[in-house]
Structure 1
Amino acid sequence: MRKNTLADKINEGNFTADDLISVLGNNESALDEYLFQKASEVRDRHIGKKVFIRGLLEVSNQCTKNCYYCGLRAGNHQVKRYTVDFHEIIETIRKAYEHGFINFVVQSGEREDREFIEYITKLCLEIQCITGFKAGITLSCGEQKAEVYKNWFEAGANRYLLRIETSDEALYYQIHPKNKRHSFQARIEALENLRNIGYQTGTGIMIGLPGQNFHHLANDLMFIRMLDVDMVGMGPYLEHQQTPLFERKNELWPLEMRFRLTLKMYSLLRLMMKDINIASTTAMETISDGGRLAGIQSGCNVLMFNLTPLRYTSDYRIYDNKPVFDDPFKTADSFIHQITQSGFECLTDVRGDSLHFLQK
């Protein structure tokens, strides 16, 4: 009876927090497969069998924050810090545009210095000029003053991803220092500022943190829906040895469980928010070959390929064992072919804006 009840809930896509906890805790593979199937059907019905492709540019690994889970944290003095030479990143963007890319995700550590702010402003302007003002530009550069967000928006950025990492304030302060620089409330306010300025606004969480449980994850889903975001980037927590959180590695769920739970979270979110953009993250591929494809088959509709110049990529390590490829464009082409062979249409040359945003 319980299985039928959960199947009915999945079919309806209308969940209470207790329903979500039950689905996340279910160990019956048949029910999981039903969940993935229903999420895919909802994605196909509202968005189509389309996968929007973004080029990822990790422009700087310098960071002023000290998050306990991240290999780029300011306290990790073993990191070779960099900011990609501006002319070098522009040449990469030109090559990407010639290759068919018009969507870019610009990612960095959190910096608020004037030099960095001007770098991002100039970069947004250049991307739009190179692409004939057709580009979709997602920034993921952390918390900034509202006026900085506005300046970047006016320079051509149109999407912003600011991950909350967990919606539970107590858990938040288990994975961040409890001080002004790492304020939970400031993170929420930054998301509100982004929405008010006019960005397609995104957030996300980590799945499988030490101390996390199904109740936390269910509440994360409810929180994301309550925020009414336009896009989500979430994935499994993966350890980095040079972080304080690594000391709690014995508390972690097995990798296979984190992988499976992430697929469930993708599917549940798709059923709850039918027309948002959901990315299948690189961390899934780190756990399992074909991990990102599994995310697409569970309801996601966005993929990012790392186009950062090769000499920098090994120094942008949020977690250990991040894959690095000698030829990012060849890797992207190969993976796009794999996704296409699985019955999806991969699109590099359309904006792929969030329908949820467009229909507001």
Structure 2
Amino acid sequence: MPKRLREVVALLRAPDASALFAEAQEVRDGVFGREVFQRGVVEFSNHCRKNCRYCGLRKGNAHLPRYSMDCQAIVQAADCAVRMGMGTVVLQSGEESALDIRRVGRIISKIKRLGDVAVTLCLGEHGEDDYRYWRDCGADRYLLKMETFHAGVHRHCRPGQTGRTRLGKVRLLQRLGYETGSGLITGLPGMTPEILANDLLALSQLSLDMIAVGPFVPHPQTPLGDSAAGSLEESLRATALLRVLNPKANIPATSALDALTPKGRELGLSVGANVVMPSVTPESVRGEYFLYPGKNDSSVPVVNTIRRLQQRLREAGYHPSSARGVSPAYCA
């Protein structure tokens, strides 16, 4: 086993991670201070052509009511995000087989006219012409998570798909000039500390602008619904390691942390994260973007959800920023 890999495995297995967490916080504060960038996520459709065995949006989930927001509703949700102080709007959906590429382009253009706001896309795997078109329409960023680089775990969790193909898409997005992000799920069934350590190093070698890591949260209506949830501690250690390895990357404190424990996002920020990404999807459909239990609370109005999160950030000693939040890694 290479020395670097042994060192990362040791940090994942160590009985005490306090020194790692302190180092990650120091690195984050040295680059970003106590500023936390806010990204408002519009989950505009839960249709998906994929059958990933861990995801509630999987094509085979017959229990999930499907929806697709119209253009006006999407732009209105984006406008809400901007008015609430979000510097970035994220357009996210399942990987639709019948996605109207031109419609997405029109929506991007309309959102860019709302103000000085960045647009991030999280729409899955598409062709080069589609990615190029959306970039020409004004999209700034694209997030395409690897989930894992390990061929066996990837094949088990994402049947019919390969990590090699997905990695090729990530590199394509970088070549097209997107501020590019990817990420991992910790604690996937079959994952070991050695596999996770290799994933963390492989992800860091990509020189990404955004990196997301969150724990596996089992969904009862999926083939992996009876599997154990990922370890909160392991996910926090992975976040800290990614911060140390990638000082200038934007790293979110994910909603999956909140799904496992109260104030999970604050824990993520305390170990190196510098971004939060609350849902601004309308209450009428927000609960149906059901990736995993605890993802979205449709009982609370969007405005109240955002205000409460912003208050949580202030109480934890952070400053919710309205800046677009371009990664220093992208500017370098």
Say whether the fold is shared (TM-score over 0.5). yes
Work out which of the residue numbers 20, 25, 36 in structure 1 matches 2:13: 25
Quick one: distance in 2 between partners of 1:234 and 1:291?
13
Quick one: distance in 2 between partners of 1:321 and 1:283?
8
CA contact (8 A) 1:112 1:144 kept: no
Quick one: distance in 1 between partners of 2:164 and 2:203?
15
Quick one: distance in 2 between partners of 1:343 and 1:221?
28
* Deviation for aligned residue 1:54: 0.7
Work out which of the residue numbers 130, 140, 149 in structure 1 matches 2:114: 130
Work out which of the residue numbers 190, 200, 213 in structure 2 matches 1:221: 200
* Deviation for aligned residue 1:159: 0.7
| Residue aligning to 1:39 | 24
Q: Given the alignment of the two structures, is residue 347 of structure 1 paired with residue 312 of structure 2, yes or no?
A: no
* Deviation for aligned residue 1:86: 1.5
Provide structure 1 residue ranges, at least 5 long, that are not aligned to the other structure. 1-14
Question: What are the Cα deviations for residues 205-237 of structure 1, in whole angstroms up to 9, with x where unaligned?
Answer: 111111110001100111111111111111000
Correspondences of 1:137-156 after superposition (within 5 Å):
137-156=119-138
Flag the 1:210–1:43 CA change in 2: closer, same or farther, 3 A. same
| Residue aligning to 1:212 | 191
Larger displacement relative to structure 2 (286-295 or 80-89): 80-89
Q: Given the alignment of the two structures, is residue 174 of structure 1 paired with residue 156 of structure 2, yes or no?
A: yes
Q: Given the alignment of the two structures, is residue 101 of structure 1 paired with residue 101 of structure 2, yes or no?
A: no
Provide structure 2 residue ranges, at least 5 long, that are not aligned to the other structure. none
* 1:125 partner letter: S
The secondary structure found in structure 2 opposite 1:51 is strand
| Residue aligning to 1:192 | 171
* 1:19 partner letter: E
* Deviation for aligned residue 1:87: 1.1
| Residue aligning to 1:70 | 55
* 2:287 partner letter: S
* 1:318 partner letter: L
Question: What are the Cα deviations for residues 277-298 of structure 1, in whole angstroms up to 9, with x where unaligned?
Answer: 0011001001111000110011
| Residue aligning to 1:272 | 245
The secondary structure found in structure 2 opposite 1:217 is helix
* 1:113 partner letter: A
Quick one: distance in 1 between partners of 2:296 and 2:72?
25
* 1:303 partner letter: V
Question: What are the Cα deviations for residues 167-210 of structure 1, in whole angstroms up to 9, with x where unaligned?
Answer: 11111001121x3xx23222011111100000011111111111
* Deviation for aligned residue 1:263: 0.7
The secondary structure found in structure 1 opposite 2:59 is coil
Work out which of the residue numbers 332, 336, 358 in structure 1 matches 2:306: 332
Question: What are the Cα deviations for residues 104-145 of structure 1, in whole angstroms up to 9, with x where unaligned?
Answer: 111110124352x222111110100122xx211111000000
Quick one: distance in 1 between partners of 2:41 and 2:126?
20
| Residue aligning to 2:263 | 290
| Residue aligning to 1:7 | none
Quick one: distance in 1 between partners of 2:260 and 2:186?
13
Aligned pair count reads: 329
Q: Given the alignment of the two structures, is residue 242 of structure 1 paired with residue 221 of structure 2, yes or no?
A: yes
Question: What are the Cα deviations for residues 45-92 of structure 1, in whole angstroms up to 9, with x where unaligned?
Answer: 122221000101101100011111111111111111111121112222
Question: What are the Cα deviations for residues 141-175 of structure 1, in whole angstroms up to 9, with x where unaligned?
Answer: 00000110011111111111100100111110011
Question: What are the Cα deviations for residues 231-279 of structure 1, in whole angstroms up to 9, with x where unaligned?
Answer: 11110000011111224x1xx3xx5x61111110111111111110001
Quick one: distance in 2 between partners of 1:184 and 1:98?
38
* 2:212 partner letter: G
Correspondences of 1:45-60 after superposition (within 5 Å):
45-60=30-45
Higher helix share: 1
The secondary structure found in structure 2 opposite 1:38 is helix
* Deviation for aligned residue 1:93: 2.0
Quick one: distance in 1 between partners of 2:19 and 2:96?
43
Quick one: distance in 2 between partners of 1:34 and 1:329?
37
Work out which of the residue numbers 81, 85, 90 in structure 1 matches 2:75: 90
Which segments of structure 1 move beyond 3 Å, counting only runs of 4 or more? none
CA contact (8 A) 2:48 2:97 kept: no
CA contact (8 A) 1:286 1:323 kept: no
Q: Given the alignment of the two structures, is residue 201 of structure 1 paired with residue 180 of structure 2, yes or no?
A: yes
Quick one: distance in 2 between partners of 1:232 and 1:171?
20
Quick one: distance in 2 between partners of 1:37 and 1:135?
32
The secondary structure found in structure 2 opposite 1:68 is coil
